[in-house]
Amino acid sequence: MSERPELLRLADRLGILHGYRGADGNEYSTGDATREALVAAMGHDASSEQAATESLERLEHADRERLVEPVLVWREWAEGAPALRVNPSALGDARDYQIVVRLEDGSREAVRGHLPQTSGGALEIALPIRPPHGYHDVELTIAGASGQREALQRLVMTPRTVVQPEEILGHEPGFGVVANLYTLRSRGGFGHGGLRELRKLGRLTGELGGEFVGINPLHAVSNRGLAFSPYSPISRLYRNILYIDPEAVPELEFSAVARGRLDDPRSKQRRAALEGASRIEHQGILEWTLPLLRDLHRTFRAVANPIRKDAYAAYLEREGEELRNFAVWECLAEHHRKRGQSGNGGDDWTRWPERFHDPQSPAVEEFRADHADEVDFRAWLQFELDRQLGEAAHQLREAGCRLGIYQDLALGSGAHSADTWMNQGLYARGANVGAPPDAYAPEGQNWGFPPYDPHALRELGYRPWSRLLNASFAHTGALRIDHAMGVVRLFWIPEGRPGNEGAYVSYRADDLLGVLALESRRHNAIVVAEDLGTLPSELPGLLADWGLLRSAVVIFERDGDRFRPSSSYPARALGSIATHDAAPLAGHFDAVDLELRAQVNGQAIDGSLATALEERRASRDQLLRALRDEGFLDDEETTPDFEALRSALLSFLAATPSVLVGVSLDDLAGETEPVNLPGVPLEAHRSWSRRMSHSLDELAKSDAFEPCLETMGARARSTAVEDRD
């Protein structure tokens, strides 16, 4: 219970929840200290009861004065049409109105009228047109004896659901290969898997009947120091330049300097060392790659290729101010690194001189003009990345992968990133996203990046959300939404506090899902929700209503201690054995991740590691029992070898009714080390930098690759036969 009633009223008004049910089944209440800190993170003062009262009064006054809400997200229905709701308390004596609907295509429709007197709730004015799906503006002008007022509302007309798998695949189930792209090796690589490897993996997958290749987020990261996690990027709007294939840049043909750099013996030696390393040397690869890409950019500017120049000009126009600001941020970060901010300090814009804090400041504009060539280089890199990703998507579909690339959208951007610099009013200040305590993390998890302020997001008409989705759906046939419960609620942790002092903050789920459905339809891509963890009770039904697939992960699909049978898996799901936060199959069964975590934390074998190992053994035995019960393993008590276990689990997945199944490339290769140890800082263990033991060429020739994927392909063929029969 709160001892501060005014604070509680203000927190309720802002969507800070009273508490939550934990993973252990117990109820946890939000404390007043947490409420006060999270209210402050949204820009309101609640340091005393008087301050909380005044903050609430300001919000209520703003509500009374607002003519219309900033945005209306209208979901398509067979009957009915959106109307403009007007707040009577804000009208005064004004009754004559004009509404102009400006459609996304540039056309406009208008209507005039006179409002009746009312003593009740909001007045609804019919629009002069029922707009099609898209983003439109509704302009209201109200006039009376005391003058004229104007208001603007963004109207988002959305479809009923996101794109459904059967709209692309028919009624056949499909499968694909899921890979951590950066870990891939190929002949003549650069030490970091990229779009070259994606094209190759796509061809191999398509030839064996696969429908997609799933990859980790491609978001932009610094690649300096320890700033290389794909789930804590500097921008979710733009991409990591280490994924570029320099030898696929068209200007290489015309750049003697670049070709000479590639042919230089010392350069070849360094490239071979980077490619042969067992772990990714992010900064080393960046420093080897950037000079080569600069050579190619100079050639791009010097060579008169009208097709390339026109494509670049169109890209710049489409991306607009955001690309310019992102490129400027990268240049400013590099500038401050060179001025002595060691390590990754240059990437923290809050440590730059104050004159550079505002992207629109005269100092930033002067810097941009003084560094125009470098700013253009950074923008050109994103253009080339986008072009190569589009080409990879095209090649995947040509190879038979009807969904093409299955991309991943991370939950947030780094606290001091380009995204937070470009959109400072969008993010809560003084709070990080995380997860409440559970058996795995008794103190909770703090993921170190700020959340969207739901109120700021709505005031902006959800433009940042639609812009992010548009970028994420580009060249994509399927999109995974990381931590999908974030459309309903996010766990906010006040800065400097442990995870067990956080609280959930609510979001307008139907609004966010409506924009998601619109962008899904525009890009003809399905959506998969990562719905693992302690979920709000309304989330499963909400996701199903909007047509999102859920994530069905074998190692987490349990009823109590028992693993669920294959027949009980949901049809509207993407099934897989594990996730990027768990060890590959071989490592999971041998508890490699637990022992690695123990080494990092210095645990003794007889401590918490022993308990964890016993729990893992019990889980393994339960899974083996489930596989034997369904006949996927011989009915013997001996532990199967890895090949038999992998075959059994793939057959189990193939037997589920789930419309899509993802096969991990790590499991096809027999990898054991996880790519990530959740909750372990990068200083202690370099997650996200492990490479695969064998190249794609070697994997394609292995005994496992083709037979394992043939197992998955057989389910689609058998379903097609059943449908014909």
Residues of the chain with CATH 2.60.40: 77-158
The pLDDT, as a whole number, for residue 523 is: 98
pLDDT score recorded for residue 721? 43
663 or 605, which is more confident?
663
Question: Residues 114-137: pLDDT tens digits?
Answer: 988 776 678 999 999 999 999 999
Model confidence band, residue 572 (pLDDT cutoffs 50, 70, 90): very high
> What does the pLDDT average to over 396-422?
97
State the pLDDT at residue 439. 64
SS3 (DSSP) at 252: helix
Alpha-helical (H) ranges within 228-354 are 256-263, 265-276, 282-302, 306-338
443 — pLDDT class (breaks 50, 70, 90)? confident
Query: Is residue 594 predicted with pLDDT exceeding 50?
Result: yes
- The first and second tokens of residue 83, run together, are 């109307």
Q: Is 434 in a helix, a strand, or coil?
A: strand
What is the pLDDT averaged over residues 150-171? 97
Q: In 3D, which of 412, 441, 444 has the Cα closest to residue 428?
A: 412
> 576, 560, 553: which is closest to 622 by C-alpha?
560
d(C-alpha 112, C-alpha 515), whole Å: 29
pLDDT for res 440: 62
Place of tokens 């600001």: 325
Long-range contact list for 506-512, CB < 8 A, 24+ apart?
Answer: 506/15, 506/17, 506/454, 507/15, 507/452, 507/454, 507/457, 508/454, 508/458, 509/538, 509/542, 510/73, 510/75, 510/542, 511/71, 511/73, 511/156, 511/458, 511/462, 512/462, 512/465, 512/487
> For position 153, what pLDDT does the model report?
98
Q: How far is the C-alpha of 480 from the C-alpha of 122, rounded, in Å?
A: 39
Residue 341: pLDDT over 60: no
Evaluate if residue 344 carries a pLDDT over 60. no
Burial 205-215 (b: 16+ CB within 10 A, else e): bbebbbbbbbb
User: Of the given ranges (230-244, 332-346, 486-500, 545-559), which has the lowest mean pLDDT?
Assistant: 332-346
Spell out the residues 6+ positions from residue 481 whose beta carbon is closer than 8 angstroms to its own: 409, 487, 516, 527, 528, 529, 530, 548
CA dist 550 → 2, 95, 485, 546 (Å): 37, 49, 11, 11
pLDDT at 619: 94
pLDDT, tens digit, 9 for 90 and up, residues 240-280: 999 999 999 999 999 999 999 999 999 999 999 999 999 99
The confidence score (pLDDT) of residue 718 equals 63
pLDDT category at 534 given cuts 50, 70, 90 is confident
Alpha carbons 409 and 479: distance in angstroms, whole number: 7
343/283 Cα distance (integer angstroms)? 11
Task: Pick 56 or 95 by higher pLDDT.
Answer: 56
Give the per-residue pLDDT at 409.
Answer: 98
Strand ranges, E, within 320-463: 404-409, 431-435, 445-446
Residue 343's region, left for phi above 0, alpha for psi from -120 to 50, else beta, is left
Residue, of 2 and 487, whose pLDDT is higher: 487
Mean pLDDT of the region 169-183:
96
Residues 373-390 have a mean pLDDT of: 98
**pLDDT of 725 over the 50 cut:** no
- HEC-encoded secondary structure of 493-558: EECCCCHHHCEEEECCHHHHHHHHHHHHHHHCCEEEECCCCCCCCCHHHHHHHCCCEEEEEHHHCE
pLDDT band at 345 (very low <50, low <70, confident <90, very high): low
Listed range (119-128, 309-318, 495-504, 524-533) with the worst mean pLDDT: 119-128
- Is the model's pLDDT at 724 over the cut of 60? no
d(CA 170, CA 405) in angstroms, rounded, equals: 18
Asked whether residue 178 carries a pLDDT value surpassing 90, the answer given is yes
- Domain range 77-158, CATH architecture: Sandwich (2.60)
Distance CA 515, CA 95 (A): 33
pLDDT tens for 553-570 read 999 999 988 999 999 999
Percentage of the chain lying above the pLDDT 90 cut:
83
The identity of residue 601, as a single letter, is N
Per-residue confidence (pLDDT) for residue 639, from 0 to 100: 85
At 722, the pLDDT band (50, 70, 90 cuts) reads: low
Q: What is the mean pLDDT of the chain?
A: 93
pLDDT confidence of 723, banded at 50, 70, 90?
low
Question: With helix as H, strand as E and coil as C, how does 31-78 read?
Answer: CHHHHHHHHHHCCCCCCCHHHHHHHHHHHHHHHHHCCCCCEEEEECCC
**Residues in Cβ contact with 233 at an 8 Å cutoff, skipping those fewer than 6 apart:** 217, 219, 220, 221, 240, 410, 413, 414, 417, 419
Q: State the pLDDT at residue 187.
A: 87
Closest CA to 329 of 442, 420, 232, 215: 420
- Residue indicated by tokens 């199959």: 585
Most distant CA atoms of the chain, gap in Å: 89
